[in-house]
Structure 1
């Protein structure tokens, strides 16, 4: 009978997986799961659910899918009129009565953490042979904590949201027989629930305390992921390093994994709370084993105080610089646009502070007003206006007009296409240093204004065109020599996107030095091995796939910290590693190799 119960997860992307529906599947043995994405056509979704013919359909509701879920719910009664519908998740755990009144086809709502309450509800549904009226009558007599339902008279009883007191009681979410199908996707995992901090914009502020899984179980479950060669395990612990006696043994476990392990583990950390012992372990990790996400949000102390957050900026900066020096992990930092009191000037300072760190990614997010979060109490004091539907993004603040918020969306688009995509960083940073006296925000602000003047914020763009756009903007805004820009942009193109993108509007030296580079590859192997140990010439296709030599009119490899001057330079790019490796090589650019 439990095979008649289907849990539906609608993910933001195909590469994601749903942790919530897997928990429910394990809580109700024999039940099934179905994963779709928000990119599916609505009627295709309805058709896939119909094919399963569930007698009970449970839908996981989050900020990224709730608008799709609402549209789907209105279609379900026509396709599956007798199916019992259960919704759960953060989007329906608050304002539950209103949700159930607006969507009368929803029979029950799981409020809060549902792994224990769903066992009781499904047990009653099975006992009553999926008869809603009988189950509701039982609930009228003895409610199940964490369940909202409709009474015999149609009245919505909200019940109470619940948490699972003993996290160890929650079953492991993944199964052996599904791993071959999902090991290349992002698998979400948690070792704790709750957060020691109370940031107003985060839903974790609604739950007091932090609960942890026993370490013995964590190690066994991590073994499971490693054994199945999972590409990435993304921890959803709100603050992974909240308790050193919990997180440090996990880091040491990861350190002890064999070099053959390819699994990447993603954590969100409060980096200012790391100590020397933890930093030492992080420095010893193999490259790519771990990546860290660091929520900075703002560097303005008054802004942070307004949302009940405390940052220790000196420690954050020192620890990020220290970890960056390890060159063994991806660092992702966050800023939030629209925080109280954070106007354009304040955000400019925050942006410049964080940009200076040159982390792998600087994500610019827009403040959201999540149901149940304390941010809702700040709407009136700070004059907020925000979207009434998901994703509930800010529209107006006490310090930013709608026009400025709208402009920031273009700013974020430009920044994503270039910096966060790993493109044109050398060029941008050279201009920032040489032309803007280090003011990164001023550069990206001018670029965004130019972008909007061209109407580029309204259309899509091919990667190849991005290089030409930056060259045209910089030539116009800073009167920079186009030859210098061409050299910098060619250098950037060969370092980004695996070197596969060769924009046609740049001056590639495909013919000018062909004989010289051919002589380098086919000459004495010992000469090449000075730069590429173990090199053996096989065929031109193999060479062209793995390596590239480009001749520049400037010593572009000094772009990080020097003003460039004319100096013909040969640079070898090696694409055999996970990230391109570039190095200067010695060639006689007048026609003969020196070695």
Structure 2
């Protein structure tokens, strides 16, 4: 009896909590075909030899890889090992990193096949070809497929974009979605043509049926998904569609969070009014600002104005229930360090929940790569093809921004050091100047080249204050102690912070709690401070005062009781 053909759809994710949507689509779209198809997901942090062992153990006929800039080098090395162990296993590649110039990729890599572009129908025809006669004529008829025979490579031509009504929902009852980021899409394509983005090579946007979207989202919620990330490039490009989805999510009975990439400048007042009714934490937005220099925006084909973005982002911030993540990109064509500094300070002044400082990547097939010479762009030939310098920004300036990115992500985006940061920011001309100084300090101390403990991240501020600013402040230590206790275990504090215990005072505080009817859980902690914490947190005024702060694990708001 002939063995049933077996395919292993393989993903190398960047983190364990991530999952791969593409390979799930392929499996779902061919579930009626007579072959065995399994999904295996790993991370790029796994040992290549261990991944090899598990893939070979499956004894597949075909191993298919989902390829992106962050995993392609791992995959190419893994494919070589697979070929050495069992040359009878066929290798199929797909994904954005191999879709452009697939013939060159096949020439340089171990493997026989590449799916170019949207994959479902091409993959289905490929599997049918494997199951049937495997004639060369039939192989050459599969649109969207490149293949290799001996040393010769062939491309069968682009495939037309598919009807989204034919796409099959990629999740099922057997999927364990808990503790994972669940990826979902309600549309494909993007209405914009930003030169650094591969979406600019595909024109038009297609939407899934809205009733289908609602049904599928309810399924994900019922399965226990906690974070659903929409992969739609610009979710709100269709106002009616976006509002319908947001209204549905706002009314759902769930603790799940839904993440969207949006273009803030095109948000309508009607949409913002609707979003103001969403439960806190239900919806979060990623907004691609990239730069606040309108001339630079034109250079990358983004026809927006930063003031329009600012207006809508600040309006969303004012309703206080939508978490916002704002992106900046360093190394854009025509932007120098002075312009980027202004962009950084502009975005920082909004004080969104997160700021991501990214670096331009010149992706294969993107219009930006074609203009590299025009802008004097020098970029790494290795993935992720990141910018090294341009005619407007030097390599050394890029390195400065790299250091800023590291301390910004650790200190600002974690939201565990907000009060400490507020202590330092007024001491510098601009937020950029502060983070630059902090980044240089971290580099000089060697903290960027090794792992340091959670406590050391707090102590670094004391060192920074004493060594860079030549100041010694007990008040700063009180602020550090407050931020530390707010987010860490209360029974122990680092030796560089002062803890004073006075049993008589603590007894009086407990009596005051009872007299005033203050409700606390059993898991509360009291700590003595020597500055007026409330006044500092709420008014940014730093005054000496003895008080106690009550930290309650069941309540994010602390209570101050004055002495």
TM-score, normalised to structure 2, is 0.94
8 Å Cα contact 2:10-2:39 kept in structure 1: yes
Are residues 526 and 162 of structure 1, via their aligned partners in 2, closer, same or farther at CA, if it must alter by over 3 Å?
farther
* Match for residue 233 of structure 2 among 235, 238, 250: 238
* Match for residue 163 of structure 2 among 166, 169, 174: 166
Query: Structure 1, residues 86-144: CA drift from partner, whole Å, max 9, x if none?
Result: 100011101211111112x311110000101111111010113xxxxx4434324xx21
8 Å Cα contact 2:235-2:260 kept in structure 1: yes
8 Å Cα contact 1:550-1:572 kept in structure 2: no
* Match for residue 24 of structure 1 among 23, 26, 39: 26
Let me know the Cα RMSD of the aligned residues.
Answer: 2.1
SS at match of 2:392: coil
8 Å Cα contact 2:126-2:139 kept in structure 1: no
* Match for residue 456 of structure 1 among 420, 439, 447: 447
8 Å Cα contact 2:183-2:229 kept in structure 1: yes
Match of 2:499 in 1: 508
Query: Structure 1, residues 528-561: CA drift from partner, whole Å, max 9, x if none?
Result: 42xx3xx46xxxxx424xx444423244542564
Cα distance, 1:2 vs. partner?
6.3
1:235-274 equivalent positions in 2, closer than 5 A: 235-258=230-253, 261-274=254-267
Match of 1:574 in 2: 552
Query: Structure 1, residues 282-328: CA drift from partner, whole Å, max 9, x if none?
Result: 11111111111111111011111111113332232222222222222
Match of 2:123 in 1: 118
Cα distance, 1:518 vs. partner?
4.5
Are residues 127 and 501 of structure 1, via their aligned partners in 2, closer, same or farther at CA, if it must alter by over 3 Å?
farther
Cα distance, 1:265 vs. partner?
0.5
1:130-529 equivalent positions in 2, closer than 5 A: 134-140=134-140, 143-151=141-149, 154-162=151-159, 164-178=161-175, 181-258=176-253, 261-433=254-426, 435-437=427-429, 439-496=430-487, 502-509=493-500, 511=501, 513-521=502-510, 525=514, 527-529=516-518
Cα distance, 1:59 vs. partner?
0.8
Cα distance, 1:450 vs. partner?
1.9
Cα distance, 1:485 vs. partner?
1.1
SS at match of 1:123: helix
Count of paired positions: 557
Query: Structure 1, residues 195-251: CA drift from partner, whole Å, max 9, x if none?
Result: 111111111111100000000100000110111121111000000101011110000
Match of 1:131 in 2: none
Cα distance, 1:183 vs. partner?
2.2
* Match for residue 523 of structure 2 among 536, 543, 565: 543
8 Å Cα contact 2:179-2:225 kept in structure 1: yes
**Aligned partners of 1:197, 1:256: CA distance in 2, in Å?**
31
Match of 1:593 in 2: none
SS at match of 2:466: helix
8 Å Cα contact 1:136-1:149 kept in structure 2: no
* Match for residue 108 of structure 1 among 95, 109, 113: 113
Query: Structure 1, residues 324-374: CA drift from partner, whole Å, max 9, x if none?
Result: 222223211111111112221111111011111111110111110111211
**Aligned partners of 1:196, 1:100: CA distance in 2, in Å?**
31
**Aligned partners of 2:51, 2:135: CA distance in 1, in Å?**
28
Are residues 112 and 497 of structure 1, via their aligned partners in 2, closer, same or farther at CA, if it must alter by over 3 Å?
farther
8 Å Cα contact 1:111-1:161 kept in structure 2: yes
Structure 1 stretch displaced more, 282-291 or 479-488 = 479-488
Are residues 528 and 504 of structure 1, via their aligned partners in 2, closer, same or farther at CA, if it must alter by over 3 Å?
farther
Gaps of 5+ in 2: none
Gaps of 5+ in 1: 129-133, 537-541, 590-595
**Aligned partners of 1:454, 1:382: CA distance in 2, in Å?**
35
SS at match of 1:241: helix
Cα distance, 1:566 vs. partner?
1.9
8 Å Cα contact 1:369-1:386 kept in structure 2: yes
Are residues 464 and 139 of structure 1, via their aligned partners in 2, closer, same or farther at CA, if it must alter by over 3 Å?
same
**Aligned partners of 1:514, 1:148: CA distance in 2, in Å?**
77
**Aligned partners of 1:182, 1:501: CA distance in 2, in Å?**
36
8 Å Cα contact 1:337-1:364 kept in structure 2: yes
Cα distance, 1:83 vs. partner?
1.5
Match of 1:539 in 2: none
Match of 1:127 in 2: 132
**Aligned partners of 2:278, 2:285: CA distance in 1, in Å?**
13
SS at match of 2:328: strand
Are residues 9 and 208 of structure 1, via their aligned partners in 2, closer, same or farther at CA, if it must alter by over 3 Å?
same
8 Å Cα contact 1:113-1:161 kept in structure 2: no
**Aligned partners of 1:499, 1:379: CA distance in 2, in Å?**
53
Are residues 493 and 528 of structure 1, via their aligned partners in 2, closer, same or farther at CA, if it must alter by over 3 Å?
farther
Cα distance, 1:426 vs. partner?
1.5
Match of 2:13 in 1: 11
**Aligned partners of 1:186, 1:292: CA distance in 2, in Å?**
15
Cα distance, 1:458 vs. partner?
2.0
1:3-82 equivalent positions in 2, closer than 5 A: 4-29=6-31, 30-82=36-88
8 Å Cα contact 1:467-1:503 kept in structure 2: no
Are residues 169 and 372 of structure 1, via their aligned partners in 2, closer, same or farther at CA, if it must alter by over 3 Å?
same
